[in-house]
A and B are shown apart, each in its own frame.
Chain A
């Protein structure tokens, strides 16, 4: 709303000042107006872009996403500071029945740090 108000105000001001002397603000005013018009033009087409399909996730990304879900599952306790396999073993030992697929995923890629380390492993402690 303020955007619509100020052009009229600046128009009045420029009308008043143009009679006295040519100020630098005259040139700025023109630039501002055009920028605002550009912005208004840009806003219109942005919603349709979201309708396009996101690119499909690779198998590795799907697995990583599942591992992240395993990290965030509250039933198996905290995930920081220990590897995902250690957390899985702990959950199994306490009878919480963690899904076997997670363990298979972890054992198949045991040298990949994205698989073995938890979500927050980049952060200290």
Chain B
């Protein structure tokens, strides 16, 4: 655990309180560990971007890629002689297995056609937190047909776009009665190399720079000082040297920098005002320069960052980081991001996929949704239905082909971590990284033991009467 590594040693307080050393005394230097890093997110980088395509291609390739996996799982679960039928070959009353993409028909889902239809005379629906209702229905689609599902299946737990296999029979009224279902489950995992010493990765998200309240700025500075080794005595500094990498998972800028008023106000009012993002990016660049001069950093964009809206979000452009881009340790990454650190495979997103699933299902906990996406073997099943996505046609890059060792999503409301094991012995650490601007908490993942612990930087706000104190609690 990180807290053990950086625990104050005996007699170390005297080091901070003793006289400054003489000129010829060598200051103790701690070298930071350098892990073998290789980014593997080539599949998320877009070359030419052509939007002249329909989104049907993504669904077709998703089904093409997942059907063989699902037929194998179905045979494992229900016996090798289970009948796997296409929807057009279904016979009444026959117990069989069908494979297809789920579509959830929701009454409350905002539909652009209903909004612009003049005969309904509807005002645009105000955004809700959740779009599920009692009357939702699940429909399974394969290449040619679709059929309504009912029976032993929990409608609230599924979202549109998940590919699953269903076991049951078609009854008289043209609906398919579900007896059981199965998902593609975890993909195969490459074994990770055992490390000899503790190595940590710091996961951080939701910095919220440029926001109206700057409560977390002090906490952020504390974090930067701790990681770069400017805090504490020798124990803390040697502990900080075991942090081999920092990963910023999205929402580096606050939501308030997305100023929509500029587009609606008159030009003469907004001509001289600068966009909120300019100052915020400068703050980010200065903070990153402090970090990058000491530790390699991966920067992933998030929902409110200046990059494209559709997934996969492209890396932030290096011209926005004039101070920090000259350092080779700055790695501007895409969202979702995948990398291998010392044989440990890390994969994750900035949280847009999880938040979207949360809106269209009854699941509340980010960690539960994260586990669900892993079991469905798809990073963002709701793309492109409700989550913006690029119209891929060749392959669906969000399908997990190899199981990661660490799977994270950023901007969760609170810190959560769990270790799960797959059917074939895969071990995954799931981490829901909390938003730093509201919780001042970051996560430290130990690459040797695959454990995660939160690290919280708290400081009292200016509203207190007492003198402000700072403490770092593990």
When the two chains form their complex, are residues A86 and B52 in contact, meaning their CB atoms are under 8 A apart?
no
B 437-466 to A, binary, CB cutoff 8 A, 1 in contact else 0: 000000000000000000000000000000
Verify A82–B53 contact, CB threshold 8 A. Answer: yes
Contact with B along A71-85 (1 / 0, CB 8 A): 000110110111000
State which of B52, B60, B395 has its C-beta within 8 Å of the C-beta of A78. B60
Among B275-322, those with CB < 8 Å from A are: none
Q: Is A74 touching B54 in the complex (CB atoms < 8 A)?
A: no
Q: Which residues of B contact A89 (CB under 8 A)?
A: 394
A74-B143, A86-B394, A90-B393 as given contacts; A96 in contact with B54, CB under 8 Å: no
Q: Which residue of B lies closest to A95 (CB)?
A: B68
Would you list which residues of chain A between 49 and 96 have a CB under 8 Å from chain B?
A: 74-75, 77-78, 80-82, 86, 89-90, 93-96
Tell me if A125 counts as interface (CB < 8 A to partner B): yes
How many pairs of A and B residues are in contact by the CB < 8 Å rule? 41
Contact B54 A81 (CB under 8 A): yes
Complex contacts, A78 vs chain B, CB 8 Å: 54, 56-57, 60
Question: Could you say which residues of chain A place their CB within 8 Å of the CB of B56?
Answer: 77-78, 80
Asked if B387 is an interface residue, CB under 8 A from chain A, the answer is no
**Contacts A81-B52, A82-B53 known; A74 to B144 CB distance under 8 Å?**
yes
Once A75-B143, A86-B394, A93-B394 are accepted as A-B contacts, the answer to whether A80 and B64 lie under 8 Å apart by CB is no
In the bound complex, how far is the Cα of B68 from the Cα of A93, in angstroms?
14
CB distance from B52 to the nearest CB of A (A): 6
- Closest residue of chain A to B395 (Cβ to Cβ) is A93
Tally of A interface residues using CB under 8 Å: 15
Q: How far is the CA of A124 from the CA of B391 in the complex (A)?
A: 16
Task: Say yes or no: A81-B394 contact (C-beta < 8 A), given A75-B143, A94-B64, A96-B64.
Answer: no
Does B270 sit within 8 A of A, measured CB to CB? no
B residues within 8 A CB of A77?
56-57, 60-61, 64, 143
Q: Are B57 and A81 in contact (CB under 8 A)?
A: yes
Complex-state Cα separation, A86 to B392, whole angstroms: 12
Residues in B with CB closer than 8 Å to A96 are 64
Question: Which residues from 74 to 125 on chain A have a C-beta closer than 8 Å to any C-beta of chain B?
Answer: 74-75, 77-78, 80-82, 86, 89-90, 93-96, 125
CB distance from A122 to the nearest CB of B (A): 14
Other-chain contact of A86, B64, B65, B391, B393 (Cβ < 8 Å): B393
Asked if A90 and B394 sit within 8 Å, CB to CB, the answer is yes
The answer for the CA separation of A94 and B66 in the assembled complex, in Å, is 10
Binary per-residue interface labels of chain B (35-66) against chain A in the complex, 1 for a CB within 8 Å, 0 otherwise: 00000000000000000111011001100110
Compute how far the CA of A86 lies from the CA of B60 in the bound complex, rounded to whole angstroms: 14
Distance in angstroms from A75 CB to nearest chain B CB is: 7
Known A89-B394, A94-B61; contact A81-B53, beta-carbon cutoff 8 A:
yes
**A90:B61 contact, CB within 8 angstroms:** yes
Question: Which one of A81, A82, A93 has the greatest number of beta carbons of chain B within 10 Å?
Answer: A81
**Docked complex Cα distance between A75 and B63 (Å):** 11
Complex Cα gap A81–B56 (Å): 10
Contacts of B143 in A (CB 8 A): 74-75, 77
What 0/1 pattern do residues 379 to 410 of B give for CB contact below 8 A with A?
00000000000010111000000000000000
Q: How far is the CB of B355 from chain A (nearest CB, A)?
A: 29
Is there contact, CB below 8 Å, between A80 and B54?
A: yes
B46 nearest CB across to chain A (Å): 16
> B395-432, CB under 8 A of A: which get 1 and which 0?
10000000000000000000000000000000000000
Closest residue of B by beta carbon distance from A96: B64
Contacts of A74 in B (CB 8 A): 143-144
Minimum Cβ distance to chain A for residue B86 (Å): 10
Give Cα A90–Cα B61 distance, bound, in whole angstroms: 8
Kindly provide the distance from the CB of B460 to the nearest chain A CB, expressed in whole angstroms.
57
Q: Is the CB of B54 within 8 A of A125?
A: yes
User: What is the minimal beta-carbon distance from B55 to any residue of chain A, in angstroms?
Assistant: 10
Chain B residues near A94: list those with CB within 8 A.
Answer: 61, 64-65
Asked, given contacts A90-B61, A94-B61, A94-B64, whether A81 binds B144 with beta carbons under 8 Å apart, the answer is no
- Note all chain B residues with C-beta closer than 8 A to A82: 53, 57, 393
Minimal beta-carbon separation of A80 from chain B (angstroms):
6
Minimum distance in angstroms from A74 CB to a CB of chain B: 6
How far is A78 from B60 in the complex, measured between Cα atoms in Å?
7
- List, in ascending order, chain A residues with CB within 8 A of B144's CB: 74
How distant is A5 from chain B, measured CB to nearest CB, in Å?
44
B395: chain A residues at CB < 8 Å are 93
The distance in angstroms between the C-alpha atoms of A11 and B52, with both chains bound, is 65
**Chain B positions within 8 Å of A80 at CB level:** 53-54, 56
Which A residues form the contact surface with B (CB < 8 A)?
74-75, 77-78, 80-82, 86, 89-90, 93-96, 125
6 CB-based A-B contacts, threshold 8 Å: A77-B61, A78-B56, A78-B60, A80-B54, A82-B393, A94-B61
Q: What would 18 more interface pairs be, CB under 8 Å, given A74-B143, A77-B57, A125-B53?
A: A74-B144, A77-B61, A77-B64, A77-B143, A78-B54, A78-B57, A80-B56, A81-B52, A81-B54, A81-B391, A82-B53, A86-B393, A86-B394, A93-B395, A94-B61, A94-B64, A95-B68, A125-B54
List the 7 shortest-distance A-B pairs measured between CB atoms, nearest first.
Answer: A77-B60, A81-B53, A94-B64, A78-B56, A82-B393, A90-B394, A78-B60
B contacts, CB < 8 Å to A: 52-54, 56-57, 60-61, 64-65, 68, 143-144, 391, 393-395
